[in-house]
Structure 1
C-alpha cells in the first residue's frame, strides 16, 4: 500500500508499506478516504518535532471499515468512520475524572504512532467515531478540526447571544467562525493579518472583519466598543502578539479562550496584564477536543453542524498520495494557505 512518509531531514515521500492486519479483538482495519494536514504537523515535518522517524502522520482522517476483531459488534464492513486520535489510558485519575486530554499516559494516532496518511490503518474501536448513514467522507475529514473550536465554545458555556471574536482565521478559526454563527452568536468578528482569509471569513459567516496588521489594538477596540459586552474571544492563531491582542481588545468581563499553541515565549506588558485585572477577564485554556462520555458531545455536534458549514472553500489543494507529498514539500518555510487534503480515493 502507498504511505506518505516523513523523514528526519524534512523530506516527505510516497513509499510502499505492507497492509496492516487486525491483531487484537478490539481493532478495526480501515481504508482511508481523506486525510488533512494539520498546522501541528508542520513542526513534525520541518523542525524535527516528531517522536520518531520515519513516521506517517495524519490525525484528521475519514475512512471505511474493512475488517474488525471479535469484540467489535457495532460496525460492519463499509461503515464510514472518522478518527478520534487521542488514546487516553482511561485508568489514571485524570481519565477517571474525565479529563482525558490531561491523561498522563496517553498515546496519539498520527503523532506518537503512525496515522492516516496511508491507504490502510488499524485503529482501536474506541478511536473511531461512526458517521451517520449518508454522511460525506469529505466532511468527515473536517470533523476533528471542527471539534477543536466546539470544545472551546463548550468550555465557555456556549456562544448563543454572545459577541464572538475569533483572532486567527486559519482553518481552525474559519471553522469556529462558522460554528459560532450556526450556534446563535449575536455577531461574529474575525481578526487576522491576511486579507484573503478575512475575505473568506466574511463570505462564510463573519459579521465584521479587522486586519490587525493595518489597525492597532486601540483602533480595533474602538470599533468593538458598541459590542464590548458579552464578548467571547477565541484566540486560535497561537502567537504571542495575538494573545496580547486578545487581552488588549477585550471588553468588560469578557471570556478569552486560548486555543492556539504558542511556539515562542509570551511576554505581556504591565498594561496588557493589567487589563486582565481591571476588566475582570475570564481566561480559559482549551486543549484538544474531548469530554465525557468519550469522546464527547463535540463530535456528534460537529457532524450535526456539517451541512450548515462551508468546507470546500477552506481547501487549498486536494489530490492523491504523490500530489499530497508534493504539496507538503512545497510548504517548507511558507505559511499554509488553506487545508491540504490527501484523497486516498484517488489512486
Structure 2
C-alpha cells in the first residue's frame, strides 16, 4: 500500500569511485517483503563517510552513502502495515543476519555477517530509500527529523557511557572524567554524562576553541590544547589525575596519551574511529600493567527493535529535551553534499581549518 509519489527520478548522491561523487536520478524504490519506503528528511554526515569517499574505504562502487538518517514512511509492503504510513522514524543502519552466535544473543551490533545502509548497502544520501521495517523506530512527539537523524551517533555516544556504567545515574566511584575531542560525539557525550551524573567533574579538551565554546554547561571545564603540542602539557600538568579518560578523536597519538592521563586503577574508553596503526612502546604497555588500567573498546550501539536499547533510551532523552542538532554547524541541500564532503576532507587532512562540527543533509530542502 502506498501514498502517491510524484512521477520522477529518485535523486541520489552516488560515489562512483574514490573522490568521484555525482548527483544522479535513480528509480523510485518499491518496498519488498518486510520493508517500508522512507522519504528521507535528514541525513547526518559521519567521519567514516569521508574515508569512504576519499580514502578508498568503500566496500564497492557505485555506492550511495549515508547511515545516520530519519524520515517519513510513505510506502509499505502489506496492507496490515498501513498504520505506519505517515509516521516519522529513525532508522538503525545495521542489518543483522539473525543467525550467527551474536545475533542469537540479540547482540545485533556484533553480527559477524551484517549488512549496513550507507556502507555495504545503499544509504540515505538520497530522497527516498527502502529499508527493513525491523530497523525503524518511531520518533517521539516533539522530536523532529533533524534531531531524529542524529539518533545513531547519539546512541553511539550513549553506548560508550554504558560501557563505563555512567549512563544510568550514580557515579560508581568516578569523580573526574576527561573527554579528549570536542567533535559531535565528544560534545553530546559530555552533555549526556552531565545529565546522568551531575556531580562528576567533567573536562573536555580540544585544539579548537570554537568547538569548546559550544559546551553550554558552565560546570564543564574546557581545555584548549596547543596546536603543536597535542596533549603534552595536559599530561605534564595533570597526568594520572582522571578516573576515566575517553578518547573521541581517532588520532593514534591520543589513544597512547590516554594511558598517561588516567589514574592508577582507572578506566580508559577508546571511542574514536582510529585513523592509522597504533604502536604502543614498551614503556606504555608497562604503564598499563603497573597502573592496572582497564581499557574498554566501544563500537556502534545496541538495538532490538522496540525492546529497550541504546536507541530507545536515546529517543527518551530527546523526548525529555536533549537536542543534538544544536551541535550541527552545517545544514545543506542534497546537491551540496559533494561540496560539504570535500570541505570535511580538507579539514581532516589539514588543508583548511574550517569550523565544521557536524553536517546534516536535507534531501528535500529547496
* 1:190 and 2:204 correspond: yes
Alpha-carbon distance in structure 2 between the residues aligned to 1:223 and 1:205:
22
Q: What's the counterpart of residue 181 of structure 2? A: 168
Stretches of structure 2 that go unaligned for 5 or more consecutive residues are: 1-9, 349-353
The match for 1:50 is 58
Q: CA offsets per residue over residues 57-85 of structure 1, 9 Å max, x none?
A: 11000100111122864852110101100
Give 1:265 deviation, angstroms: 1.1
Q: Indicate if the aligned counterparts of 2:179 and 2:248 stay in contact, CA closer than 8 A.
A: yes
Shift of 1:311: 3.0
Relative to structure 1, the CA distance from residue 291 to residue 321 in structure 2 (aligned partners, 3 Å threshold; closer, same or farther) is closer
Deviation readout 1:90-133 (Å, 9 max, x if unpaired): 11112112332221210011100100111110000111111123
How far apart, CA to CA, are the structure 2 residues paired with 1:333 and 1:249? 30
TM-score using structure 2 length: 0.86
CA shift in 2, pair 1:51/1:315, >3 Å:
same
Correspondence 1:256 to 2:265: no
Q: Is 2:265–2:292's contact at 8 Å kept on the other side of the alignment? A: yes
Alpha-carbon deviations, 1:22-68, whole Å to 9, x = none?
Answer: 121x1011100000110011110011211111211110001001111
**How far, CA to CA, are the matches of 2:280 and 2:84 in structure 1?**
53
Q: 1:101 maps to what in 2?
A: 109
The whole-number CA distance in structure 1 between the counterparts of 2:301 and 2:324 is 19
More divergent stretch after superposition (57-66 vs 152-161): 152-161
Unaligned stretches of 5+ in structure 1? none
Equivalences for residues 1-347 of structure 1 within 5 A:
1-24=10-33, 26-70=34-78, 73=81, 75-159=83-167, 160-161=170-171, 162=174, 163-185=176-198, 186-201=200-215, 203-204=216-217, 207-213=220-226, 217=231, 219-221=233-235, 224=238, 228=241, 231-290=243-302, 297-306=309-318, 307-335=320-348, 337-347=356-366
Pick which of 242-251 and 291-300 moved more: 291-300
The range that moved more, 165-174 or 34-43, is 165-174
The TM-score, its normalising length taken from structure 1, stands at 0.90
Distance (whole Å) between structure 1 residues aligned to residue 42 and residue 20 of structure 2: 21
Spell out, residue by residue over 1:112-159, the C-alpha distance to the aligned partner (whole angstroms, 9 max, x if none).
010011111000011111112332111101110001111111122225
Runs of 4+ in 1 over 6 A off after TM superposition: none
Q: How many Å separate the matches in 1 of 2:92 and 2:137?
A: 7
Aligned pair count reads 343
RMSD: 2.4
Determine the C-alpha separation between the residues in 1 that align with 2:111 and 2:49.
Answer: 21
Specify whether residues 72 and 284 from structure 1 end up closer, same or farther in structure 2 by C-alpha distance, changes over 3 A only. farther
How far the C-alpha of 1:310 sits from its partner, in A, is: 4.6
Q: Secondary structure at the match of 1:90?
A: coil
The answer as to whether partners of 1:86 and 1:109 remain within 8 angstroms in 2 is: yes
Give the Cα separation in 2 of the matches to 1:53 and 1:316.
29
Q: Secondary structure at the match of 1:209?
A: strand
